[in-house]
Amino acid sequence: MNGIDWQTLRRLRRTYLEGTAGLRDYWQSDADLEAYDRTFAQRIGWKWDFVLADLEARGWRPPRGTVLDWGCGSGVAARACLDHFGRTEITRLHYADRSAQAVQYATRKAGMKYPGLEVAAGAVESPTVLLLSHVLTELSPEQVEALLELALTAETVLWVEPGSFEVSLALIAIRERLRTVFHCVSPCPHQGRCGILAKGNEAHWCHHFATPPSAVFQDPDWGRFAALLEIDLRSLPLSYLVLDRRPAPAPPADTVRVLGRPRIEKAGARLLGCAAEGVREFRLPKRTLPEAFHRFRKGRWPSWQRWACRQDEITEILAS
Ligand SMILES: C[S@@+](CC[C@H](N)C(=O)[O-])C[C@H]1O[C@@H](n2cnc3c(N)ncnc32)[C@H](O)[C@@H]1O
């Protein structure tokens, strides 16, 4: 991280924590965007990797056409998609942001990374793929409404946000509005009303955890980043939503999306699972399912699983 301006990172972090990022354009220079791109954006990229790997594992690919990365910052979301899905489906990439500096930076960086790809500055109507990443906390209610109008012109929407309670609930409210038009591809294993909204689930939210590359934990620069900005490198909570006008094949009825972190107890783990019939807590007994229990205890579990259950007790892991 040679040449990183740590003061810039501190300023950005303060702006995000204070919730003042929406008030004015905070990108002051290319150096700001470079510092962000090498640190905060890397962490956001790992969240995108989590979402895109999950989509890939389930055989989902984006439709062919234009991609718009809206609120692009340094442009990491589109780069993550290009790195996962390749260039064949992407005919043109557009970057848009209220900051002209950010658009310029993102456009230049993608142009250098993917020679030959058409990369354009500015929004486009009816994008084939709309990418939204960490924008919700910076938008007023009116701006969110305008963004949803744009989303309604897209064929697919991939939206990744922080995994906080408030942001997850905001994204759920958006899902409830858009699911009349789009199919919910992920994280939901069903197309119905979000189970988090059911009575009794007020304390829960739909969030997941991405895993940073292990090299990060041995890297002194990342150690400095964590110490200076008081960020726990191990924890990468996210909430997300993938919507598609194309019909999504229905997953098997016993499919469950594991939400949040498991609660590890002596006799087993308690897991919050989202399934077609709703969101509820399941028990995974250590005695009968020791390997699965071990994976949950170690913090390594695929969030998309299939279980056989007797009431709330998991009796068999059918696929994970
Ligand atoms: C936290 S950054 C996220 C950047 C990038 N999407 C990422 O995930 O790294 C939020 C971005 O939203 C942009 N933004 C904020 N309000 C906006 C608005 N009203 N219209 C367009 N972009 C906006 C900011 O300039 C900033 O680049």
Distance 97 CA to ligand 1 centre (A): 6
Does 299 score more than 90 pLDDT?
no
Identify whether 285 is preceded by a cis peptide bond (ω within 30 of 0).
no
Q: Tell me: the pLDDT tens digits for 209-237?
A: 999 999 999 999 999 999 999 999 998 99
Q: In sequence order, what are the beta bridge partners of 129?
A: 67, 156
Tell which atom from ligand 1 comes closest to the C-alpha of 160: 8
Does 266 score more than 80 pLDDT?
yes
Give the tokens for residue 253: 């009825």
Does 2 score more than 80 pLDDT?
no
Mean pLDDT for the stretch of residues 17-36: 92
With the C-alpha atoms ordered 66, 72, 78, 79, is the resulting torsion angle positive or negative?
positive
Beta strands 237-244; 255-264: pairing state? unpaired
- Of 19 and 213, the structure prediction assigns the larger pLDDT to 213
Contact 229, 10 (CB under 8 A): yes
Q: Tell me: the pLDDT tens digits for 102-134?
A: 999 999 999 999 999 999 999 998 999 999 999
Pocket test for ligand 1, best of 15, 98, 149, 164 (most atoms within 8 A of CB): 98
Mean pLDDT for the stretch of residues 82-96: 95
Helices (H) and strands (E) in the chain, counts: 9, 13
Q: In sequence order, what are the beta bridge partners of 158?
A: 131, 242
Does 1 score more than 80 pLDDT?
no
Pocket test for ligand 1, best of 9, 97, 131, 134 (most atoms within 8 A of CB): 97
Contact 140, 22 (CB under 8 A): yes
C-beta contacts of 144-150 below 8 A and 24+ residues apart: 144/170, 144/174, 147/70, 148/174, 148/177, 148/178, 150/70, 150/123, 150/125
Pocket test for ligand 1, best of 69, 135, 240 (most atoms within 8 A of CB): 135
For the chain, give the percent of residues with pLDDT over 70: 100
Distance 222 CA to ligand 1 centre (A): 24
Residue identifier of the C-alpha nearest atom 12 of ligand 1? 71
Q: What is the pLDDT of residue 60?
A: 95
Does 5 score more than 90 pLDDT?
no
Apex 217 CA angle, 216 and 220, nearest 5: 80
Task: Give the number of residues written for the chain.
Answer: 320
**pLDDT tier at 293, thresholds 50, 70, 90:** very high
Q: How far apart are CA 292 and CA 308, in angstroms?
A: 13
Does 82 score more than 90 pLDDT?
yes
Q: What is the pLDDT of residue 48?
A: 98
Does 297 score more than 90 pLDDT?
yes
CATH no., domain 6-244: 3.40.50.150
Q: Tell me: the pLDDT tens digits for 143-158?
A: 999 999 999 999 999 9
Distance 178 CA to ligand 1 centre (A): 21
Mean pLDDT for the stretch of residues 4-28: 91
Q: Tell me: the pLDDT tens digits for 159-189?
A: 999 999 999 999 999 999 999 999 999 999 9
Contact 204, 279 (CB under 8 A): yes
Does 19 score more than 90 pLDDT?
no
Q: Tell me: the pLDDT tens digits for 194-212?
A: 999 999 999 999 999 999 9
Q: What is the pLDDT of residue 307?
A: 95
**pLDDT tier at 277, thresholds 50, 70, 90:** very high
* Mean pLDDT for the chain overall: 95
DSSP for 205-232, please give it: ---EE----GGGGG-HHHHHHHHHHT--
Identify the residues whose C-beta falls under 6 Å from ligand 1. Answer: 22, 25, 41, 44, 71-73, 76-77, 97-99, 102, 133-135, 138-139, 143
Give the tokens for residue 201: 């689930």
pTM of this prediction?
Answer: 0.96
- Amino acid type, 209: F
Q: What is the pLDDT of residue 300?
A: 83
Contact 185, 59 (CB under 8 A): no
Tell which atom from ligand 1 comes closest to the C-alpha of 26: 25
CB-CB neighbours of 260 under 10 Å: 17
Could you tell me the residue ranges of all domains in the chain? 6-244, 255-319
